[in-house]
Amino acid sequence: MSSHATLTRTVAEWIVHQSSTALPVEMDHHVRRMLLDHLAGVAASSVGEVSAAVGVHVARTYRGSTATAIGHGRTSALGAAVLNGTNGHGIESDEGYTPGSMHPTSVVFPAVFAVAQERGISGDRVLRAAAIGMELACRLADAGHPATRNRHFHNTPVAGVFGAAAAVSVLLGLDEDGVANALGLAGSHAGGVFEFLGGSAEVKRFHPGKAARDGITSADLAEAGLTGPTTILEGRDGYFAAFAGEEGTDWFADTVTRRLGEEWVLLRTYVKPYPCCRHLHGAIDAMLALRDEFDLDPESITSIEVGTFAIATRHAGRVLDTVLQGQLSLPFTVAVAALTGSVTLTDFSETARQDPRALALMDKVVVRLDEAADASYPKTGRPADVTVVTSDGARYQHRVEQPYGEPTNPMSDTDLEVKAYGLLEPVIGLAGAKTLVEACWNFDTLDFLDELDAAVRSAKPV
């Protein structure tokens, strides 16, 4: 038996204790930041094709009216979790936690909101449940990363389902045994593989929705009396054994429990300034810095070399048939940054992906492994080094250790609002965006979700 045989129980005990403890002021504010970032992305994504496809499935399968699926009206709690979770990850705008390479909001908030609406729960308890679930998801993802990713698993759903189960357990008021069983049940729902990268399959967007739904199911079944393995995290055939490998080599129990209840690792989540894979952001920042500092003319660029960590080098695709392929392409996004001086959602439209100038510049981008960057990721940074050569033979180089939005290179509340308005205004207008921004900062009820849903639906083309 492992010396950490009580890991699942330790986590369950913390969840129950934390559920009756007020969030520190700094943490309360941070969760509201995450809420604003999340809902802006959900609203912007809810008018897209993936959202429409999942909406058809939800309408067929999850009938009810107890929870709000933004942009789709009322449905069941499970249906709302599926749709809002999918849309939370739908345009690659969602925040994340670098040490675990995962996006906690797109899994946990949809699960929490759906159950809170269904059960009539509001106020601090909702934010507290969300914070607890996201904290656990980040710690679990970190404890097994990058071994989990190297085994081809997508950390957001595989670790996120535990966070969703934990958060919903808080809302349901489960005791330690109940929480341990909910986590045990969540282990059987963990899943999501990276094969979507090969053809940029849109199932990637669905992963958080699936995990949010399954987290609700796990907690609900535990409340109903179904048991799960209460050694799910540390067991010989448990989560870490299956998804990571050997303890002390591939995963680390201490990462889960270190200063648990004293320190919130959730405070170290990042905010994305660009709607694309976070692994690309360091190179984008470096390219933008070079463009601004040296007033580079894109027409004069003869080559762009990007050195970065190994996982980022896997995102060197040059096929741009879909939005997702563009959002996962380091050569394309760096070319766009060099060409336009920004990377925005419109840069991934079909027209933008076919822009001859962007395609010509993309062909000049070379991606290579940077050993120092690889040694830094994921524990201390997401480095990228960009070197630009121009037609006159001049060379310009810039290195970014941490992309903008990381806790050591943070995005201010003001810039976060600017990002949110940029996502919201095209969908619900300035007045609607202002209402949502204020509702997030002053959160005490979920009543605004129906208002947001109505605003999105009224803006959708008939």
The radius of gyration computed from the CA coordinates of the chain, to the nearest angstrom, equals: 21
Topology, domain 278-400: 60s Ribosomal Protein L30; Chain: A; (3.30.1330)
Tell me the per-residue pLDDT of 290-347, one tens digit each, with 9 for 90 and over. 999 999 999 999 999 999 999 999 999 999 999 999 999 999 999 999 999 999 999 9
Residues 6+ apart with CB under 8 A from 400: 282, 283, 285, 286, 289, 383, 384, 385
Give pLDDT, residue 263: 97
Is residue 460 pLDDT above 80, yes or no?
no
Q: What is the mean pLDDT of residues 98-126?
A: 97
Share of the chain above pLDDT 70, in %: 98
Which CATH architecture describes the domain 7-268?
Orthogonal Bundle (1.10)
Is residue 4 pLDDT above 60, yes or no?
no
Tell me the per-residue pLDDT of 32-51, one tens digit each, with 9 for 90 and over. 999 999 999 999 999 999 99
Give pLDDT, residue 379: 85
Residue ranges of the domains in the chain? Answer: 7-268, 278-400
Tell me the per-residue pLDDT of 337-380, one tens digit each, with 9 for 90 and over. 999 999 999 999 999 999 999 999 999 999 999 999 999 999 88
Q: What is the mean pLDDT of residues 438-452?
A: 96
Tell me the per-residue pLDDT of 75-96, one tens digit each, with 9 for 90 and over. 999 999 999 999 999 999 999 9
Share of the chain above pLDDT 90, in %: 96
Give pLDDT, residue 335: 98
Global pTM value:
0.92
